[in-house]
Amino acid sequence: MSKKILIVYGSRWGSTEEISNKLKQQLEEKKYEVDIIDLKSKQKQISNFNDYSGILIGTGISIGKWTKHVKKFVTKNMNVINNNKNFIVGIFLSSGLASEQEKRDEAIEKFILNKFEKMGINLGDNIMYDAFGGVYDLSETTKLSGLMQKMLKMAGKEDPEHIVVGERKDFRDWDQINNFLEKFVSKIQ
């Protein structure tokens, strides 16, 4: 019987969603059975974590924050994440900060390690994590609201290399994402 992996994610503008779908596709190519849940959707009942060999949890970052649905999920399922050493957990995010390779450690510190510390969750050997780059979309087809576009344009004044008016800039490194998945899979017995 093939092993089952659960992917749960929160994504405001689709970047983390695309990463999650890509991870699902790659896992299925490796013959895993995958359930994927957009945490903001209504049908997010997870019947039994024991059905799964591993879980991937992804979030986008806005103004330094995870999505509220991801925060709720992690808080609610703290015990599952903390206690079961046979259960492999992979945490990932898509953020502007991690768009530069040299800033990935800073993004991990700020958006993963500090947050888990605040929640009182120890990251044991069964938990791995990484910070992926983000998408800055100020093109005509952007999904950002007017207010969000305004905020991003303001941030762009400090960071004109990454945030460009009229353009969609994608800083996700698919090799990095692939390496993360390989590492995750290698931990599953």
The answer to whether residue 136 forms part of the interface with ligand FMN (CB under 6 A) is: yes
Q: Are 131 and 92 a contacting pair, CB within 8 Å?
A: yes
The answer to whether residue 11 forms part of the interface with ligand FMN (CB under 6 A) is: yes
Nearer of residues 144 and 188 to ligand FMN, judged by Cβ: 144
Q: Phi-psi category of 66—alpha, beta or left, where left has phi over 0 and alpha has psi -120 to 50?
A: beta
Cβ of residue 161: shortest distance to ligand FMN, in angstroms? 14
The answer to whether residue 62 forms part of the interface with ligand FMN (CB under 6 A) is: yes
The answer to whether residue 61 forms part of the interface with ligand FMN (CB under 6 A) is: yes
Query: For residues 135 and 14, what is the distance between their CA atoms, to the nearest angstrom?
Result: 9
The answer to whether residue 69 forms part of the interface with ligand FMN (CB under 6 A) is: no
Sheet containing 33-38, strands listed edge to edge, beginning at the edge strand earlier in sequence: 33-38, 4-10, 54-60, 88-94, 127-132
Query: For residues 34 and 17, what is the distance between their CA atoms, to the nearest angstrom?
Result: 15
The answer to whether residue 63 forms part of the interface with ligand FMN (CB under 6 A) is: yes
The answer to whether residue 14 forms part of the interface with ligand FMN (CB under 6 A) is: yes
Residues in the site for ligand FMN, rule: CB under 6 A? 11-16, 60-64, 94-97, 134-136, 144, 148, 151-152
